[in-house]
Amino acid sequence: TGYVTLDRGYKNTGATKSAITFLDGEEGILRYRGYSIEELASKASFLEVAYLLIYGELPTKEQYAQFEGAIRHHTLVNEDMRKIFDGFPVKAHPMCVLASLVSAMSGFYPESYEGNGDENLDIVRLIAKLPTIATWSYKRSMGHPLNYPKNKLGYIENFLNMMFALPVEDYTVDPVVAEALNILLILHADHEQNCSTSTVRLVGSSQANLYASISAGISALWGPLHGGANQEVIEMLEEIKAGGGDVAKYIDMAKNAKTTGFRLFGFGHRVYKNFDPRAKIIKKAADDVLSKLGVNDPVLEIAKGLEEAALNDEYFVSRKLYPNVDFYSGIIYRALGIPTNMFTVMFAIGRLPGWIAQWKEMRETKEPIGRPRQIYTGSTLREFVPMENR
Ligand code: CMC
């Protein structure tokens, strides 16, 4: 009871105070713990950024060595987790497998919910094991044996090795690929109170354990309006290409979103109303990476054509719809050899430190349980009718 304000989709409701990520949608500014996304993406390593988000400061040499070393040490996944994985149909989407296996992790580390665990160890385990689990779906889809992690490799190199190494030939990580992935993961690492992060906080606010909370975040991220958009973008661009490159037709369909139900994927954002600073960096990176790798992907030209057409169209201009982080990221992932149905998994690996940081902050600031109100629109009191009289 009492006065309830309705704010569908929480467009204007602040759910928490937070000291992690600063975002100014009008100016296109994004900062983690005060550091600009542009500087972090060009100067830091992904694990350095993960440490910054989770613990609040850039790590010293010793802190970094300790954090990175602990992650290397925990990359191996319990063999019984593989038995669970083997029970999934091969066709299961990698995001379904990822959410399920992360949820299963709490069963392997019951101290996480029994209250006698070590939070820092859970954090390390999650960061260490997520890439290992992620590569399983891809390997099996190819009919390849799964690769074990190698502790001599760094975080990104280890992921790439588990993805692409085959027992029959040597595999060395191309530094251009590793560097591109480092930038992409950093750009995805946090984004304040987005849908999946709010989910992690809401689940965690009931004092559910970290694995359960992160698993819920992965499920939220999967949706096509959120992280799932990166897969939708490439599928849309492919469709445009197959139809002869008729960009105008798709612009028209998007302008009539109300009747067609079609949205231009990778366009629009709840908060950014001038540009998405991540999209700016990614667009440039797409050009760089494709040219360094000698990849000529016709879909990049279609994407640029689509962006130009949209940015010159009154519909998109008046609604302040610009390319978001998902618009060009898939083109880079593809150039790195990552298949389309793994794009959202890549987003999840990147977003993990942000989810963890937000979950940890929520616990430390002793946020109350999340429990939105509603405005009831159903029947008033009515009398029960026995089944024979209905
Ligand atoms: N194509 C066509 N029209 C659009 C689009 C789009 N992509 N996005 C928004 N609009 C229109 C919408 O129809 C509405 O028009 P009107 O004022 O006439 O009713 C207006 O723009 C405002 O849109 P909204 O749906 O009220 O905005 P929102 O803040 O609720 O939604 C969004 C934000 C990101 C869900 C939406 O822009 C969208 O669906 N974009 C496509 C999916 C996508 O790319 N998602 C990734 C988001 S960024 C990173 C991430 O989270 O993964």
pLDDT digits (tens, 9 = 90+) for 194-225: 999 999 999 999 999 999 999 999 999 999 99
Name residue, tokens 């959410």: 99
Cβ atoms of 49 and 207 closer than 8 Å? no
The pLDDT tens digits of the residues spanning 86-130 come to 999 999 999 999 999 999 999 999 999 998 999 999 999 999 999
293: closest CA among 354, 344, 247, 338?
338
The atom of ligand 1 lying closest to the CA of 254 is 2
Q: What is the pLDDT of residue 3?
A: 86
Rounded to the nearest whole angstrom, what is the distance from the C-alpha of residue 138 to the centroid of ligand 1? 30
DSSP 81-144: HHHHHHTS-TTS-HHHHHHHHHHHHHHH-THHHHT-S-HHHHHHHHHHHHHHHHHHHHHHHHTP
Identity of residue 31: R
**Is the CB of residue 266 below 6 angstroms from any atom belonging to ligand 1?**
yes
Average pLDDT, the chain: 96
Closest residue by Cα to atom 31, ligand 1, is 270
* Region 302-318 average pLDDT: 94
- 2, pLDDT greater than 80: no
Strand order in the sheet with 35-36: 21-24, 29-32, 35-36
DSSP 19: S
Chain-centroid distance of CA 216 in Å reads 12
Query: Per-residue pLDDT for 166 more than 80?
Result: yes
Beta bridge partners of 323: 267
Residue whose C-alpha is closest to residue 236's, from 306, 138, 153, 147: 306
Q: What percent of the chain has pLDDT over 90?
A: 97
Known active-site residue 80? no
Say if residues 46 and 182 touch (Cβ distance below 8 Å). yes
The dihedral region occupied by 320, where left means phi > 0, alpha psi between -120 and 50, and beta the remainder, is: left
Model confidence at 280: pLDDT above 80:
yes
C-alpha of residue 306 to centroid of ligand 1, in Å: 16
Is 254 near ligand 1, meaning CB less than 6 Å away?
yes
Q: What is the pLDDT of residues 135-151, one digit of tens each?
A: 999 999 999 999 999 99
Tell me how far the alpha carbon of residue 319 lies from the centroid of ligand 1, in angstroms. Answer: 9
Query: Per residue in 172-186, pLDDT tens?
Result: 999 999 999 999 999
What the block records as the tokens of 206 is: 């009931």
R_g over Cα of the chain: 22
**Cα 137 to Cα 164: distance, rounded to the nearest angstrom:** 12
Largest interatomic CA distance in the chain? 76
Whether pLDDT at 187 is above 60: yes
pLDDT band of residue 57 (cuts 50, 70, 90) is very high
- DSSP letters, 244-290, are T--HHHHHHHHHTHHHH----TTB--SS-SS--HHHHHHHHHHHHHH
Distance CA 239, CA 84 (A): 35
Catalytic residue among 269, 276, 288, 297: 269
Q: Give the separation between CA 298 and CA 305, rounded to whole angstroms.
A: 11
Distance CA 338, CA 362 (A): 34
Regarding the beta carbon of 257 and ligand 1, being less than 6 Å apart is answered yes
Q: Which of 194, 230, 253, 269 to mutate to test the pocket of ligand 1 (most atoms within 8 A of CB)?
A: 269
319 lines ligand 1 (CB under 6 A): yes
| Beta partners for residue 35, in sequence order | 32
326 is catalytic: yes
Quick one: pLDDT band at residue 257, thresholds 50, 70, 90?
A: confident
Reading the block at residue 332, the tokens are: 């880079």
For a pLDDT cut of 70, what percent of the chain falls above it? 100
Domains, the chain: 21-226+339-364 (1.10.580.10), 229-335 (1.10.230.10)
Q: What is the pTM of this model?
A: 0.96
pLDDT of residue 1: 56
How far, in Å, from the CA of 47 to the mean position of ligand 1?
A: 31
Closest CA to ligand 1's atom 39: 225
Closest CA to 1 of 374, 368, 377: 374
> Quick one: which H or E segment has residue 35?
strand 35-36
What does the block give as tokens for 317?
A: 């201009």
Assess whether pLDDT exceeds 60 at residue 381: yes
Contact 284, 332 (CB under 8 A): no
Mutate to test the pocket of ligand 1, among 321, 322, 325 (most ligand atoms within 8 A of CB): 321
Phi and psi based region of residue 337 (left: phi greater than 0; alpha: psi -120 to 50; beta: remaining): left
- What pLDDT score was predicted for residue 294? 94
Cβ–ligand 1 contact at 270 (below 6 Å): yes
Going by C-alpha positions, the residue among 189, 191, 229, 179 that lies closest to residue 329 is 229
Out of 122, 190, 276, 326, the active site residue is 326
333-380 tens-digit pLDDT: 999 999 999 999 999 999 999 999 999 999 999 999 999 999 999 999
